[in-house]
Amino acid sequence: MAVTLEQARRLGCTCLKALLRFAFMVANNLVAIPSYVLYLIVLQPLRVLDSESFWYIEGVLFKWLLAMVASWGWWAGYTVMEWGDDVKTVSEDEAMVLVNHQATGDVCTLMMCLQDKGTVVRQMMWLMDHIFKYTNFGIVSLIHGDFFIRQGKAHRDQQLILLKEHLEKYYRSRNRKWIVLFPEGGFLRKRRETSQEFAKKNNLPFLKHVTLPRVGATQVILKTLVAPQENGTPAGRDTVIKESKSKGLQWVIDTTIAYPKGEPIDIQTWILGYRQPTVTHVHYRIFPVKDVPAEPEALTHWLYQRFIEKEDLLTHFYETGAFPSLPGETKAISREMTLSNLWLVAIQSFAFLSGGMWYCIFRYFYHCLF
């Protein structure tokens, strides 16, 4: 079929816009990430003298970096509508966030919708696939203290031991509050068939929109971070609770991401912006950690139930375009998540000014030495 002049013009505009956005993203990364690293190198004496202040500053810089990533989607018209419980009410408490996983854009969506949740972004820890260690953002996540987990049966036991050690070493010492993980262990399209075969063999529900979760990381997090009074049993020696401030993990936030027509946004789309403006829908349910069972078999059942509920939520969303109401509500209430364009411009400007400053400093020292 012949392409009309109007179609060619639109295609040309889309390609030009994608090229300009990509160029801006590359430039942004070239100044923002090295600046983050250099600021923290300069602040190493503060880390020795006042560790809490150092990690506070690092958290602020980390939040700004995530806001820059969020801005790429925000300015392309990829916005978020939130449903269910209001997680702002627990933003100052410790929480574990369980998220379904469909595409690389899920992480970007969370980077966006958590920006207006108080101190959450600067005090959160991410559990992500080890492949992200080798991306442009890998050095930032390594410094921040995120955990990169290797998938597969051959690595599973060792990875859980390393996760426990990582939490004991970094979670309290860096004053983390929220920990985010994707219990499915991979993207929906890659794990769905295997999950459905497992469900059939074990007489479990047939799921299309999510997969059955893996319980290992969730169990390690609960065992390591929950305070002694939770779960109805005294904590073992694995529990690491900061003596002065921390009450331990208090909430589990079951988070469900839904895309219109079930078409997820990937990182390439987020960067290039060639897809039409899209509203991603995020549903939250908050559970007190004291209601989460500690025993492995009971915890597995509890976690399966959460993903069976996700399946029902997503089925309802794809059929109606909205999530169902919470118990006690007559109508489901949605909240439009917003970002300040002025704030986004300010932090982008700070990144480029910082890049210019570091360039001038290095150039000055180069001329002094040579």
CATH code assigned at 180: 3.40.1130
Asked if residue 131 belongs to a domain, the reply is: yes
Q: Go through the chain and tell me how many residues it has.
A: 370
DSSP 214-240: P-HHHHHHHHHHS-TTGGGS---TT--
Specify the pLDDT at position 185.
Answer: 86
In degrees and rounded to multiples of 5, residue 146 shows phi and psi of -70, 165
Whether 14 shows a pLDDT value over 70: the answer reads yes
Average pLDDT over residues 277-297: 94
Which amino acid belongs to residue 118?
Answer: G
* Amino acid 157: pLDDT: 83
- Domain assignment present for 163: yes
- What pLDDT is stored for residue 301 in this prediction? 94
Residue 234: predicted pLDDT: 43
Residue 349 maps to a domain: no
Confidence of residue 134 (pLDDT cuts 50, 70, 90): confident
Place of tokens 């074990």: 202
Q: pLDDT for 178-215, tens place per residue?
A: 999 999 988 888 889 989 998 899 999 999 999 999 99
What percent of the chain stands above pLDDT 70? 94
Least confident range of 179-193, 216-230, 336-350: 216-230
In a domain? residue 47: no
Mean pLDDT of all residues belonging to the chain:
89
Phi, psi of 123 (to 5 degrees): -115, 20
Q: Is 352 a residue whose pLDDT tops 50?
A: yes
Q: Tell me whether residue 41 is in a domain.
A: no
Q: Is the pLDDT of residue 237 over 50?
A: no
**Would you say 79 and 71 are in contact if contact means Cβ atoms under 8 Å apart?**
no
* Between 364 and 43, the higher pLDDT residue: 43
Residue numbers of the domain that contains 82? 78-227+247-324+331-339
Q: Is residue 184 part of a domain?
A: yes
Top-confidence range, 2-16, 242-256, 325-339: 325-339
Average pLDDT estimate for 222-230: 79
pLDDT confidence of residue 245: 59
In which band, very low, low, confident or very high, does the pLDDT at 243 lie, cut at 50, 70 and 90? very low
Alpha carbon distance 85, 273 (integer Å): 30
Residues in contact with 263: Cβ distance below 8 Å, sequence separation at least 6, in sequence order: none
Q: How many domains does the chain have?
A: 1
| Token code pair at residue 177 | 């509050």
| Mean pLDDT of all residues in 6-29 | 87
Q: Name the residue among 33, 27, 115 with its Cα closest to residue 70.
A: 115
Residue 1 has pLDDT above 80, yes or no: no
| Short-list 249, 267, 265, CA closest to 97 | 249
pTM of the model: 0.90
Q: Answer whether residue 62 is part of any domain.
A: no
Does 239 score more than 70 pLDDT? no
pLDDT at 48: 94
Residue 298 placed within a domain: yes
